Structure 1
Amino acid sequence: MKLNKLLLCVLSVGICGVSQAATVKSTIPLKLTIPKLCTIDNQAGTVLVPSDGSNVSASYTVTCNTGYTISTMTDNYLTSDWATHLKSSAGNYLVTGMGTTGPGGTSVGIQHAAGVSFPGSSVDTFTMSVSLQNAITPTTTAGTYRDNYRITVTY
């Protein structure tokens, strides 16, 4: 019986004895910063405007990981007639009709200072179209007529 009490005492000290559990906690912060980024992919090259007044178009994409505003302009936009033009090296002008459409058919006006806003986090396709207002005639002054369509993305 003494042995049983001793054994019971040893077992109870080993199982329920003086051992205590302790807990320590810590936090390691995790962080990832992705900088804002926008790119314009213009694979159109030089757009050849048809002399018969028919329409030609070229597409480009804007890829942004944040909201952005896009505006377009041309070098030969004249406020005297509120139109875009092709200009020769001799200073002759041919009036063009130009427009841009973006995602969902949204119109992006030429020389629209404020631009048009898009939510971003996507690859957005824009299509620029241009045509001569009047077809070339036999009396149209010879030369190479040029303009530059410029795209500005602000984010």
Structure 2
Amino acid sequence: MRLIKFLWIFFLLIFSEFIYAANQTASVDVVTTIPVSCQFSNISPQIIISENGGLSTGSFTLNCNKNFELQLSSKSLKDGDVLTSVKTVNGEKLNTIVKVNFIGNSYELDEVKQIRVLDPSSSELGTISINLANPIHATTPAGVYQDVLYLDATF
């Protein structure tokens, strides 16, 4: 009987590694990178200023996934004018009033403006309104008067 117990214990010791399950764990890092992006869309291709002094409007949408700054400027301001204006190729000019509504604020473009957005939503709508600063007269030189508005997003 002792021999049977001894054999049974010996058998259990030899095959005990098969009786107890061993656990092993490992980990794998899962990573993705979302690139920073800002994109303009729905930009008004042209804003035609009313010659009777009425307000003309345009709009744009800006989508960013990170804090950004929006710089507002115009060709006339970059060319050194004190006020925004539309000009003919011959140099005749008419001063304008340009206002940009963006993220609940209104900005008059009387100099290059830098708007800082610290908490962008998925889509920010902006509107641009322009009118002549002074009414035109019968003596106002005929021609096509133009300016360019610049919207630059940096992030």
* TM-score, structure 1 normalization: 0.82
The question of 1:25 aligning with 2:25 is answered: yes
Q: Is the 8 A contact 1:67 1:121 kept in 2?
A: no
The percentage of aligned residue pairs carrying the same residue is 23
* TM-score, structure 2 normalization: 0.82
The amino acid of 1:20's aligned partner reads: Y
Alignment coverage as a number of residue pairs: 142
Separation of aligned partners in 2, 1:85 and 1:146 = 8
1:70–1:152 distance in 2 versus 1, CA, 3 Å: same
Q: Is the 8 A contact 2:66 2:120 kept in 1?
A: yes
Residues 97-120 of structure 1, C-alpha deviations (whole Å, 9 max, x = no match): 11111112x13453335x111122
Q: Is the 8 A contact 1:62 1:124 kept in 2?
A: yes
The question of 1:107 aligning with 2:117 is answered: no
Question: Residue 128 of structure 2 corresponds to which residue in structure 1?
Answer: 128
Alignment of 1:50-129 (within 5 A): 50-77=50-77, 82-104=82-104, 106-110=105-109, 111-112=111-112, 115-118=114-117, 119-129=119-129
| 1:24 positional shift | 0.8
Q: Is the 8 A contact 1:72 1:109 kept in 2?
A: no
| 1:96 positional shift | 0.4
1:147–1:42 distance in 2 versus 1, CA, 3 Å: farther
Residue 141 of structure 2 aligns to a residue whose secondary structure is: coil
Q: Is the 8 A contact 2:97 2:108 kept in 1?
A: no
Separation of aligned partners in 2, 1:56 and 1:150 = 17
Separation of aligned partners in 2, 1:101 and 1:121 = 16
Root mean square deviation, CA, Å: 2.2
| 1:63 positional shift | 0.2
| 1:137 positional shift | 0.9
Residue 47 of structure 1 aligns to a residue whose secondary structure is: coil
For structure 1, list consecutive stretches of 5 or more residues without a partner in the other structure.
none
Residue 21 of structure 1 aligns to a residue whose secondary structure is: coil
Residues 31-62 of structure 1, C-alpha deviations (whole Å, 9 max, x = no match): 01000000011431111100011111111000
For structure 2, list consecutive stretches of 5 or more residues without a partner in the other structure.
none
Separation of aligned partners in 2, 1:109 and 1:70 = 14
Separation of aligned partners in 1, 2:136 and 2:63 = 37
Residues 83-141 of structure 1, C-alpha deviations (whole Å, 9 max, x = no match): 1000001101100011111112x13453335x111122420001111000112210001
Q: Is the 8 A contact 1:36 1:66 kept in 2?
A: yes
Q: Is the 8 A contact 1:103 1:124 kept in 2?
A: yes
Q: Please say which of residues 131-140 and 115-124 is displaced more in the overlay.
A: 115-124
The amino acid of 1:26's aligned partner reads: A
Residue 76 of structure 1 aligns to a residue whose secondary structure is: helix
